[in-house]
């Protein structure tokens, strides 16, 4: 396994948890931040803090430049055609809700269909459910195979003239499945349906080229890719963004306001009402620089290596541990959700915390998927660039210790 040698860039990795070295394995929930990002945020508040787009004075001009430069960096990172195709939101959830409200309300009518999958995060389910409840459209699902991949055998039947939106995750936050989104986007586009991709797990871990994908709308979050919290991104094709209504009304998104009417700015600014999270956006630009310096192909290869090592080690444990998701690492990300027989995932996570190993336990905002898997919850380890073989070894040692602690209950 190639060591990326970046662990020392992350100050939190020096922490001890219960007098044990920190083993952070919950990056699918949020990533840790390198010192350059933390320092950039602190430096911004010390030296450049002023509202963006509103002041003809030095601090405001500096702040606006940092904010808009980050927009350019994000556009380049996903190969968008223009920075004006990048909207800043609070998170992926807000980006997906923006689509449901701003596009869905104007374009969906009773009897129309929205196609998603059972492996979606609740953020890519609930907005569509709310829309269907309000308008009377229908939610349909692509089935899942036993190995955690999508069953596309009847995709041509599922996508019909009634299909108005096809929305799915780039990579499952539970199964680690990397979906064949380009194939599905092509089918959606041919049918005249809007293609929407939840890239919350995709953008941090995989090279993303929105032009090559030909995707209509792609959403992701800064905090899962080394950036600060409170910053989301929505990429959209220009013709779609131009036709969409504003999501929120207020300052900054307007062009002119009269007592009885108003006009809006062009995209992306018509979707960014009020004071944006400009300091965190500026720091997100530094996180993008950091990932660009590493190279997303290298990020992906590191996760293939460490996930393969983790899977190999789990299989050696003398317990009937069930690991969910594809076995093929070509279509699997750095997520390892598992069931420890006879032990509740919350107990597994608490037990591992005693050893300094931080994993997730619960339904991971994917309750329909949990039901498909026949469990109420799973324990989940997820990897990123700062994890190494020693992290996996501590994770495995803690699992083995847990098996001994719980004894026959885990058999």
Q: Tell me the pLDDT tens digit for each residue of 64-122.
A: 999 999 999 999 999 999 999 999 999 999 999 999 999 999 999 999 999 999 999 99
Give 139's strand partners. Answer: 114
Task: Using the predicted structure, report yes or no on whether residue 12 has a pLDDT greater than 90.
Answer: yes
Max intra-chain CA distance, the chain: 73
| pLDDT at residue 410 in the model | 45
DSSP helix/strand/coil, 113: strand
| pLDDT at residue 1 in the model | 41
135 C-beta neighbours (distance < 10 Å), count:
14
Helices (H) and strands (E) in the chain, counts: 14, 17
The answer for 82, left when phi > 0, alpha when psi is -120 to 50, beta otherwise, is: beta
CATH 3.40.640.10 maps onto the chain at 48-293
pLDDT tens profile 327-368: 999 999 999 999 998 899 999 999 999 999 999 999 999 999
Q: Which residues are part of the catalytic machinery? A: 365
| pLDDT at residue 206 in the model | 98
* Residues 48-293, CATH architecture: 3-Layer(aba) Sandwich (3.40)
Q: How far apart are CA 120 and CA 117, in angstroms?
A: 6
* CATH for 7-27+295-410, options being 3.40.50.1220, 3.40.50.300, 2.60.40.1940, 3.90.1150.10: 3.90.1150.10
pTM score: 0.96
pLDDT tens profile 130-170: 999 999 999 999 999 999 999 999 999 999 999 999 999 99
| pLDDT at residue 319 in the model | 81
CATH 3.90.1150.10 maps onto the chain at 7-27+295-410
| pLDDT at residue 407 in the model | 63
The answer for 295, left when phi > 0, alpha when psi is -120 to 50, beta otherwise, is: left
| pLDDT at residue 54 in the model | 80
| pLDDT at residue 4 in the model | 65
In this prediction, residues 177-194 reach a mean pLDDT of 98
Task: Using the predicted structure, report yes or no on whether residue 36 has a pLDDT greater than 70.
Answer: yes
pLDDT tens profile 295-304: 999 999 999 9
The encoded tokens of residue 151 equal: 């069953």
pLDDT tens profile 42-54: 999 999 999 999 8
């Amino acid at each position: 396994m190639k060591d990326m040698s970046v662990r020392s860039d992350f100050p939190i990795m020096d922490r001890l948890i219960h007098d044990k070295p920190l083993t952070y394995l919950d990056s699918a929930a949020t990533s840790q931040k390198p010192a350059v990002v933390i320092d950039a945020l602190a430096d911004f508040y010390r030296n450049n803090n002023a509202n963006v787009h509103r002041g003809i004075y030095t601090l405001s001009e500096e702040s606006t430049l940092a904010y808009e430069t980050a927009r350019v960096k994000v556009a380049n990172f996903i190969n968008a055609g223009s920075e004006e195709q990048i909207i800043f939101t609070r998170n992926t959830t807000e980006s997906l809700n923006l689509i449901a409200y701003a596009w869905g309300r104007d374009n969906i009518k009773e009897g129309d269909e929205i196609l998603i999958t059972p492996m979606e995060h609740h953020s890519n389910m609930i907005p569509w459910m709310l829309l269907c409840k309000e308008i009377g459209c229908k939610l349909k699902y692509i089935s899942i195979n036993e190995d955690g991949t999508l069953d596309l055998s009847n995709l041509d039947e599922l996508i019909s003239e009634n299909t108005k939106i096809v929305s799915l995750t780039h990579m499952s936050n539970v199964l680690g499945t990397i979906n064949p989104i380009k194939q599905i986007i092509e089918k959606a586009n041919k049918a005249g349906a809007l293609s929407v991709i939840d890239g919350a797990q995709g953008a941090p871990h995989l090279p993303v080229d929105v032009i090559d994908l030909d995707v209509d709308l792609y959403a992701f979050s800064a905090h899962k890719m080394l950036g600060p919290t409170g910053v989301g991104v929505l990429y959209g094709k220009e013709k779609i963004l131009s036709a969409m209504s504003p999501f929120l009304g207020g300052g900054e998104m307007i062009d002119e306001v009269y007592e009885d009417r108003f006009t809006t700015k062009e995209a992306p600014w018509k979707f960014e009402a009020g004071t944006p999270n400009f300091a965190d956006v500026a720091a997100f630009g530094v996180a993008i620089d950091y990932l660009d310096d590493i190279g997303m192909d290298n990020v992906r290869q590191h996760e293939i290596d460490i996930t393969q090592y983790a899977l190999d080690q789990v299989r050696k444990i003398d317990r009937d541990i069930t690991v969910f998701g594809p076995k093929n690492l070509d279509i699997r990300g750095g997520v390892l959700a598992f069931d420890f027989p006879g032990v509740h995932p919350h107990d597994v996570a608490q037990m591992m915390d005693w050893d300094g190993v931080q994993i997730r336990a619960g339904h991971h905002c994917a309750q329909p998927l949990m039901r498909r898997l026949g469990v109420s919850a799973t324990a989940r380890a997820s990897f990123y660039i700062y994890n190494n073989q020693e992290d996996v070894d501590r994770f495995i040692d803690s699992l083995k210790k847990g098996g001994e602690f719980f004894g026959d209950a885990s058999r």
